[in-house]
Amino acid sequence: MSRIYSIAITNGKVSNNPARLVPLQRENNERVRWLEDKEEIAIRQAIRQHWPQREPELDLALHTGLRRSEQCCLR
């Protein structure tokens, strides 16, 4: 929201940014988690059963950490 108000101020649409008064919360990005072997096997079996053509997408996600939306934007 703060960024939107900053752009609006630059464009002369508003005169102040009330979103700056809202304190930002810090995100805890310390936890990094990988799939356990049994979790990967279960996901892979489900994909092979229902959507076998999508298994390469799973491989890409597992090896790169890309989210599905990030994969879809690749060129």
Is 45 exposed, middle or buried, given 0-12, 13-18 or 19+ CB atoms closer than 10 A?
A: exposed
Question: What domain range is 70 assigned to?
Answer: 33-75
Q: Provide, rounded to the nearest whole percent, the portion of the chain with pLDDT above 90.
A: 45
pLDDT score at 47: 96
Q: Report the domain count for the chain.
A: 1
pLDDT score at 66: 85
pLDDT score at 15: 92
- pTM score over 0.85: no
CA dist., res. 62 & res. 68, Å (int): 11
Written as six digits, the tokens of 72 are 């879809």
CA dist., res. 16 & res. 8, Å (int): 9
CA dist., res. 39 & res. 45, Å (int): 10
pLDDT score at 59: 92
Per the domain annotation, does 52 fall within a domain?
A: yes
| Low-confidence residues of the chain: pLDDT under 50 | none
Per the domain annotation, does 12 fall within a domain?
A: no
CA dist., res. 32 & res. 55, Å (int): 23
pLDDT score at 74: 84
